[in-house]
């Protein structure tokens, strides 16, 4: 009998531990987003001056895709942030990073981005009325933007300058998410 009482208590404790470790809301974690930004920013020195000529004019981040002007747009904007993280993760899966980048910080960056994606996947399952969810338009703009970054890397044969341009662009995306969406997603 004592065995069953002990087993019951262990089961209850395990259930409590499981439930308390589950995320309670479908949101991004601001601290993780700040860590990814910091890791990417500090994994190498400042933007190399010799790479200034490699900054393409036609690649401009569609900031509007991550903005929300009212509560009806929050879901579309949240899905767009999730999509941006997916695209950042995809860009950073290469094996051709500059040797000047801190490999440990790069690995930590990739791990945290993947964790954010995993923990915020529930955002994609949020249901809204069709006319309220403008994610399709946001998705198209983000896909075009990140495709241009990937194309730049390939055209420049994954050169140091191409990677620095991509790093600079991803930093601006993360910064925008941190600053402009501070009330919406945390």
Structural domains in the chain plus CATH codes: 25-180 (1.20.1250.10)
pTM score: 0.80
Give the DSSP letter of residue 101: S
Burial class (CB in 10 A: 0-12, 13-18, 19+), 3: exposed
pLDDT of res. 4: 47
- What number is the average pLDDT over the span 109-127? 89
Best mean pLDDT range from 31-45, 120-134, 170-184 = 31-45
Q: What are phi and psi of 105, to 5 degrees?
A: -65, -35
CA 179/CA 45 separation, integer angstroms: 23
pLDDT of res. 69: 78
Q: Is the pLDDT of residue 184 over 80?
A: no
What is the torsion angle, in degrees rounded to the nearest 10, for the CA atoms of residue 20, residue 108, residue 115 and residue 96? -170
pLDDT of res. 91: 94
Q: Is the pLDDT of residue 15 over 70?
A: no
Q: Is the pLDDT of residue 39 over 90?
A: yes
SS3 content of the chain, % helix, strand, coil (to 5): 70, 0, 30
Q: Is the pLDDT of residue 6 over 70?
A: no
Tokens of 56: 């393409």
């Amino acid at each position: 009998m004592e065995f069953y009482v002990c087993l019951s208590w262990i089961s209850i404790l395990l259930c409590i531990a499981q439930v308390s470790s589950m995320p309670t809301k479908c949101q991004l974690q601001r601290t993780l987003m700040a860590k990814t930004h910091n890791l990417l920013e500090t994994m190498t020195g400042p933007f190399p001056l010799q790479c200034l000529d490699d900054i393409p004019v036609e690649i401009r981040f569609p900031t509007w895709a991550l903005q929300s002007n009212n509560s009806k747009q929050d879901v579309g904007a949240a899905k767009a942030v999730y999509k941006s993280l997916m695209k950042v993760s995809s860009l950073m899966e290469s094996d051709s990073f500059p040797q000047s980048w801190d490999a440990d910080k790069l690995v930590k960056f990739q791990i945290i981005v993947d964790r954010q994606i995993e923990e915020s996947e529930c955002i994609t399952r949020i249901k809204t009325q069709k006319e309220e969810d403008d994610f399709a338009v946001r998705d198209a703009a983000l896909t075009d933007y990140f495709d241009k970054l990937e194309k730049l890397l390939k055209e420049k044969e994954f050169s140091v300058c191409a990677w620095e341009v991509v790093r600079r662009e991803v930093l601006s995306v993360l910064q925008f998410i941190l600053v402009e969406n501070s009330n919406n997603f945390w």
